[in-house]
Amino acid sequence: MPYETQTSAESAVSRRCLPPQLTVVVPVFDEAGNVQPLVDEIAGVLGPRMRFEIVVVDDGSTDGTSSEIDALDRHYDFVRVLRHPANRGQSAAIRTGVEAAAAPVVTVLDGDGQNDPADIPAMYGHLKCGSADCRMVVGDRRRRHDSALRKLSSRIANGVRARVLDDGIRDTGCGIKVFYRDDFLALPAFDHMHRFLPALIQRDGARVCSVPVNHRPRVRGTSKYGVGNRLWAGIADMLGVLWLRRRSL
């Protein structure tokens, strides 16, 4: 576990005695081999900068993910593990993690390692030190490392969503986002809501900021999303979000 050698006794005591400033929520489903390197990366980036915790939500994995995150839970005092007995979807996993968060600010990122933890400090700083009405910071993947089919489906989905919801966000599907815990928990909860977080945050007049982020190739495992469960399934959800925005008080 490489991060252990980077932690001083003084910073370890500080983490135990004071609440975290940031909770990093990592939803995972069948991501064996990806979770430990990602947790080590997050710790290496945030350890010298702030008090943090990592909440890993295992969404009913059936491979070796469970034993991998159990080892992390035993080894690191800043890691907490939560589990769904069966797969409930990414939105449910994110909500479980945010509900459990001990910090007022939450970062969520995908468990496949394609989001770069090095982007977290700047996004956190943008939320805390930017304009007062900015309540969420979302990543914008300018150079994506995905298959041609995923890029195409994402481009179509983002284009349709932008025209219908007019949320002003170029890449709402980017997995890395930073927001306030209370704002998220005030949102209506439904399946696939994670795809529409900017539009949902905006419905009460808040501003969502978008910043360029790094995007990396998937090294291990396979994507859980395709055209069938990402592009077409999102149409009904998008219309539901449009209805929610128009009915906002």
**Contacts (Cβ under 8 Å, ≥6 apart) of 62:** 30
**Which of these, 194, 74, 198, lies nearest to 135 by C-alpha position?**
198
pLDDT of residue 151: 62
**Which of these, 193, 216, 208, lies nearest to 141 by C-alpha position?**
216
Q: In what order do the strands lie in the sheet with 22-28?
A: 79-84, 52-59, 22-28, 105-108, 177-180, 134-141, 207-213
Provide mean pLDDT across the span 186-195.
Answer: 88
Provide mean pLDDT across the span 71-77.
Answer: 95
Confidence tier at 150 by pLDDT (50, 70, 90): low
pTM: 0.83
- Could you read off the pLDDT of 14-69 as tens digits, one per residue? 556 799 999 999 999 999 999 999 999 999 999 999 999 999 999 999 999 999 99
> Is 160 a residue whose pLDDT tops 60?
yes
Residue keyed to tokens 């993947």: 141
Q: Identify the residue with better confidence: 171 or 92.
A: 92
Domains present along the chain, CATH in parentheses: 16-246 (3.90.550.10)
pLDDT of residue 227: 54
CB-CB neighbours of 37 under 10 Å = 13
